[in-house]
Structure formats: C-alpha cells, structure tokens
Structure 1
Amino acid sequence: MKTKLFLALLAGVLLLGACKGSNYEAIRDDKASSSSADTVAVSTNTAADTVSTKLVKTADMRFKVKNVQQTGDAIAALTTRDGGMVMHHQMQTNVERSEDIRVSDDSVKRVSALSTNADMTVKVPSEKLENFMTEVSHMGMYVTLRKMDIEDRTLDYLSEKLKLRNRQDLVDQQKKGKVVIKDPVNVMLLKDDMVDQQIGNMRTDAAVKYSVVSLSFYQSNIIHQEMVANDDPSAYQLPFFKRLAIAINNGWFVFVELLLALANIVLAIGLWGLYRYYRRKHPVWFASGVKS
C-alpha cells in the first residue's frame, strides 16, 4: 500500500516538472521570436534611413588663351557635348590706351591697345568633371589657377530627411486626431518647413548630379587701327588761300565803309564851315531870316 502511494507521488512530481519545462520552453521561444522581430524592425528602419553619399563638386580655373572668342565658343560646344549647360557667359574688351593720328582735316587714324577677357559659369555632370577640366586646360597657353573642391553633404541630407519624416508623422497624427494643434498658423508654418526641407534636398541632389565650374580666361593685348571722322570742330576750316581771299574781301568792305564814314564826316564839316562863312560875310541874310 505504501509502495503504491509512493509511486503515485513520484509520477505526479515528474508530470509537474514536465509541464514547467514545456512552459519555460514556450516562454523562451516567445522571447526569442519577439527579440528577432525587434531586430528585424530596427534593421529595416536603419536601412530606410540610410542615404547614398552626397558629394558636391565645384571647380575654378583661370588661364590665358590666344583668342578669347574662339575659346568661349569651344567651351560652350564641349559643355553641350558632355550633357552640361552654360549658365553664364560674359566677354569684355577694355581700351587700355588710345591715340589719334591726324590724316586729313576731316579724318584721323585711331590706334588703340585693347585687352579682352571672358568669364563663364557652366554645369557639367559630376562624373565627367575631371575630364572636362583637363580638356579645357589644353585650350589655353598656360593655367594660372586650377582648383576643385568636394563637399560631403551626406549627413546634412540625412538630417533633413529625418526631420521631414518627423514632421510628416506629426501631420499624419494631426489629421487622424491623435494630436491637436490649436493655432492653424503653426500648421501652415510646419508645412512650409516641410516644403523648404524637400526643396533643400532637391537642390542637394541637383548639386550632386551636376558640378558648377567657374572659368576665367584672357588674351594678350592687341592693337586695333581704324579710320574715323575727326570729332574736333575746330579742325573743319577752309583752305588757306580761300580764307585769305575772304579776309581781303572783308578788309576791303571795312575799308570802303570807313571811307564812306570819313566822307560823311568831311561833308558835314564842309557844310558847317560854309554856314559859318556865309554868316560872317552876309549877316543880313541870316538876320532877315530870323526876323521873318
């Protein structure tokens, strides 16, 4: 009887131990599954937050060429061939010195020393930047400056992307009613910030895809000669003999006028003398004239 009771107790203990063991295995399996799911979720979020490297390349070059205009046309053609675009092109010629040589009364030869230079800003695909710079440098006689900078904007791009996601989550919660924003202006400002961040990342993508290159080139001074009209009014005068004839004619006219004036004066003096003479010789004539 005691032996049967002992066997029954032993069987109960073994059964209880087996149940606890199975429960432990089930709990451990559940924890392992949960941990694995969390790991997968973290890995998924990390992969979603990873962005490709954002390298922005810029370059500058200054060089001397034989002909500024021809070089500018060649650079524009090279940029188009590589799939780029000319953003700015300015060519300028300055007069360093100038001298006028009189050829005739109404014409002068103008001799000028001219300096010509040009500035260009182009966008080229980033993967073709090095080859583009090399080809452009071969167009010049020599290069006085060549510079290339690379800026890594990967972290800035990722930061803006995460901020944009946080704001998007907040807007979604606000639409679902989980978050209440009392002031509508704040909602508008939040959406404006989201737009600015999107545009900022789009600018970064464009800067990564296309590199900006600033080019400045010049040539040696050239001498330019041209025949131009004399712009000095005093140079436009009549020939010497014609001016002499005009002067004699004018002098003769003045002389005649002077003679006429002297003749008038002499005539007036003669008449006055004649009047005085007759008045002394024949005072009766003048007295009777006064009485009458």
Structure 2
Amino acid sequence: MKTKLFLALLAGVLLLGACKGSNYEAIRDDKASSSSADTVAKMTDTSKVDIPTTKLVKTADMRFKVKSVQQTGDAIAALTARNGGMVVHHQMQAYVERSEDIRVSNDSVKRVSALRTDADMTLKLPSEKLESFMTEVAHMGMYVTLRKMDIEDRTLDYLSEKLKLKNRQDLVEQQKKGKIVIKNPVNVMLLKDDMVDQQIGNMRTDEAVKYSIVNLSFYQSNFINQEMIANDDPSAYQLPFVNRLMIALSNGRQLFVELILGLANLWVFIIWGIGLWAIYRYYKRKHPTWFAGGIKS
C-alpha cells in the first residue's frame, strides 16, 4: 500500500515539472516572437516619417515659327535669365536647300544659296514661373505649331523612397548595436549604396520640382544669301587667244629646233642610209638585167 502511494506521488511530481517546463518554453518563445515583431514594427512604422508635400514635376515643349532665329534665341536667353533660370542647351543650324553659281569673271563667281535655319533650346526655369514664361515666349513667334505641358505627381514615389531609406537606416543602426548580425560585409556595403542612391534620387526629385525643364524648337522661313567667291574651276583661268597663239608659235619654233637637233644626233645613220642608197642606184644602173631578172624571179 505504501509502495503504491509513493509511486502515485512520484508520478504527480514528474507531471507537474513537465507542465512547468512546457510553460517556460512557451513563454520564452512568445518573448522572442514579440521581440522580432517589435523590430519589424519599428522598421515599418510610418508614423514617425514626415509626409512630404506634393511633389509635382512640370515639363513643357513648344515649337513655333519666328522672323529671325538668331534674334529670338538671344531674346529667350535674356528672358530666362530675368526669370531666374538658365539655358542648358542651345543649338542653331543652317542648311543649304539649293545653291547656284553665277560666273561674273574668269576668277570670280557669285554663289546664290537658299538657306533654312532652325534652333533648339533646353531651359531650366523655376516651376512657379513656367506658365507665364511659356506665354511670353509664344508671343515672340509668328505662330505656334506645338505647345505642350505635362505635370507628373511623384509624391508617392518620393514617400516610398523615404520610407525605404528609413528602414535601411534602422537596420544599419541595429547592426551597429549588435541586435542584428549581417555576416557578409558585402551586403552591408550594398545596403549603404542603396541608401545613397535613394537619397540622391529624392534630391533629384526635389530639383525637378523646383526647376522645370522647357524644350523649345523654333525656325524661320528660307532666305537667300549671296556671296562673291573665287572660281574653283581651273579651266576658267586660261590666257586670252592672242597670248595663247603667240605661245603656240613659240612652241612650234621650239619643236622645229628640237627636230633638227634630233636629226643631228642621228647623222651616222643618215650617212649610212645615203651610202646604201647610192650603192643600190649604182648597181642598178650597171646591171639592169640582173635586177630585172631578180625582180621577175
């Protein structure tokens, strides 16, 4: 009887210890899960992030015809400076549509060309002055063929990058304090590089919100340009007929002298030829039948 009572008490003690141990493990796991949840909650908490003001990025384009491309370009540059902006690109080009050369003299030619001129400009302008600036530029032209303005809302993109940056900053701080261990140092460098890219990206957005980009393209009617240039045709630079005739006569005399000198250089062959011809005539006269028979045969 005593043995049965002892075994019953022992079983009760073991069961009580097992219950306490399982309760302890459950409490410890709950604490660990709570700590991780708190860490994630802190990293994703948006209540401490300032909501940015509306980020509106404005861009504008215009194409128009003017009386003078050069004068209009100068006027637009001056207007941009007065409005606190700057010209970041300015290109003016002239194309020759047609060209004709008119001979004025032997060495001079009048070149008449039909030219087409246009220009492209890119400006950075304070956004609050964009609409008034576009209206004033439109009045510089004869007429406008294209006018466009776009507004892009980047507020949510800006906020997204800001929250991501805050999360990465919190992660780096916890890594420094030893709460989170990042084993690979390369991952730390990549994380910091991402933080820099996000900061620069938001700075670019701020810049785009503050200053609008304006693309202008303008042109003018074709105009005629006349200029006197040197004749580049070598055949046009010949001497007058009389001078050329005198030169030809002089050249003929020179050729005759050269011919006599050439024959003089061949005097030996000439003498030999004359001698052979004389011998032939002599034998032909002394023996006419021999030559006649030789010819017949």
Change (3 A) 1:247 1:181: same
Partner of 1:225: 226
Partner of 1:58: 59
Structure-2 separation of matches of 1:47 and 1:150? 29
Q: Give the C-alpha shift of residue 253 in structure 1.
A: 3.3
Q: Give the C-alpha shift of residue 138 in structure 1.
A: 0.6
Structure-2 separation of matches of 1:187 and 1:259? 102
Give the gaps of 5 or more residues in structure 2: 1-44, 286-297
Change (3 A) 1:271 1:45: closer
Q: Secondary structure at the match of 1:179?
A: coil
Query: What do the CA deviations read for 1:218-241 (whole angstroms, capped 9, x no partner)?
Result: 111111111111111222211111
Q: What residue identity is the alignment partner of 1:246?
A: I
Query: What do the CA deviations read for 1:144-186 (whole angstroms, capped 9, x no partner)?
Result: 0000000000000000001111111111111111111111111
Question: What TM-score results when the alignment is normalised by the length of structure 2?
Answer: 0.73
Q: Secondary structure at the match of 2:161?
A: helix
Structure-2 separation of matches of 1:94 and 1:227? 19
Partner of 2:25: none
Change (3 A) 1:179 1:230: same
Q: Secondary structure at the match of 2:149?
A: strand
Instruction: Name whichever of 100-109 and 127-136 sits farther off.
Output: 100-109
Change (3 A) 1:201 1:243: same
- How many residues are matched? 238
Change (3 A) 1:186 1:259: closer
Q: Give the C-alpha shift of residue 104 in structure 1.
A: 1.2
Residue 176 in structure 1 maps to residue 190 in structure 2: no
Q: Secondary structure at the match of 1:123?
A: strand
Q: Secondary structure at the match of 1:238?
A: coil
Change (3 A) 1:194 1:68: same
CA contact (8 A) 1:49 1:162 kept: no
Structure-1 separation of matches of 2:49 and 2:260? 117
CA contact (8 A) 2:80 2:87 kept: yes
Instruction: Name whichever of 244-253 and 96-105 sits farther off.
Output: 244-253
Runs of 4+ in 1 over 2 A off after TM superposition: 44-49, 251-265, 267-281
Partner of 2:240: 239
Superposition pairs of residues 88-167 of structure 1, within 5 angstroms: 88-167=89-168
Q: Give the C-alpha shift of residue 50 in structure 1.
A: 1.2
Structure-2 separation of matches of 1:228 and 1:54? 59
Q: Structure 1 vs Structure 2: percent identity of aligned residues?
A: 76
Partner of 1:74: 75
Q: CA RMSD in A?
A: 2.7
Q: What residue identity is the alignment partner of 1:114?
A: L
Q: Give the C-alpha shift of residue 251 in structure 1.
A: 2.4
